[in-house]
Amino acid sequence: MPLDNHHSGLIYAMVLAAAADGEVRESELMTIDETMLVLPIFADFQRANFGPIAASCIELLSEEDGIETAIALIKGAMPARLYPTAYALACDVVAVDGVATQEELRLLEMMRHSLDVDRMTAAAIERGAAARFARPRPENGAR
């Protein structure tokens, strides 16, 4: 079942990133919600559609090859010019907690390859996500 539009694909990318390590955290959901509120790409998105889209993505992940299928659906839901956007939104969700798990990193790698995001572009996107979600240094001077 193909996704309806680019909104669905972008939401799948974010939900997939949130679920990659087996647990969807409140901070990840808040990031997804804020993203949908502020980014121009979601200006005409009907927010009531988020729940069903997210639920279908989560349901798909319980199937064999669900991650690969979800990534293929993301790719099919939007024009190629939005592939880096999908990758960037996934990176933001991964970066929100300050630490990327091995599962999240593997998902991003799979997504980058499938969406044909070149390594230089991906590195810039990843660095931008890390900068946006950077944490202040602890008071004791530790790095």
Q: What stretch of H or E contains 83?
A: helix 83-95
| pLDDT attached to residue 2 | 74
The Cα 106–Cα 108 span in angstroms is 5
| pLDDT attached to residue 64 | 93
The Cα 116–Cα 75 span in angstroms is 10
| pLDDT attached to residue 45 | 96
Condensed to tens digits (0 to 9), the pLDDT of residues 28-84 reads 999 999 999 999 999 999 999 999 999 999 999 999 999 999 999 999 999 999 999
The residue among 6, 27, 12, 10 whose CA lies nearest residue 94 is 27
| pLDDT attached to residue 1 | 64
The Cα 26–Cα 84 span in angstroms is 25
Please, what are the domains in the chain? 6-132 (1.10.3680.10)
Q: What is the dihedral of CA 97, 103, 106, 110, to 10 degrees?
A: -100
Contacts of 112 (CB under 8 A, 6+ apart): 87, 119, 122
pLDDT interval class at 141 (50, 70, 90): low
Beta carbons of 9 and 86 less than 8 angstroms apart? yes
